[in-house]
Amino acid sequence: MAKSPISLTMQAPIVSLVEAKKSDIKGGLGQCIAQMLGAQRFNQLEDNSISGIYGCVTTGEDWQFLKLEGNFILVDNQRYYINELEKLLGVFQFIVDSYETH
């Protein structure tokens, strides 16, 4: 039985989520920013006018969020923790809601 190829396509909005290696969130920020810049470029090539690209670096226990607006990276100084699930899900809901307005 032959398997049909799976086709994956990217569609805006894109959020960048990076797993921090060795529980080092700071170490994952550069990778996340690079992915966010790639998502911004993808949106520009697709003529999609999303004003901000969100990103997140996580250890699975700790979460830190970022936003790319134009040429500026905004880093949320607050860390969110898995045991504060309501706060964490609130941030994700905020991101989803912000994309729905575009």
Strands 62-69 and 80-81: antiparallel
In which domain, by residue range, is 55 found? 16-100
Asked, for residue 86, whether it belongs to a domain, the answer is yes
| Residue 70 burial (CB count, 10 A) | 8
Asked, for residue 10, whether it belongs to a domain, the answer is no
Asked, for residue 85, whether it belongs to a domain, the answer is yes
What is the pTM assigned to this prediction? Answer: 0.83
Asked, for residue 93, whether it belongs to a domain, the answer is yes
Asked, for residue 79, whether it belongs to a domain, the answer is yes
The CA radius of gyration of the chain, in Å to the nearest whole number, is 15
Asked, for residue 2, whether it belongs to a domain, the answer is no
pLDDT tens-digit profile of 17-53? 889 888 899 999 999 999 999 999 988 888 887 888 9
Task: Please state the domain count of the chain.
Answer: 1
pLDDT tens-digit profile of 60-97? 999 999 999 999 999 999 999 999 999 999 999 999 89
Asked, for residue 95, whether it belongs to a domain, the answer is yes
Asked, for residue 44, whether it belongs to a domain, the answer is yes
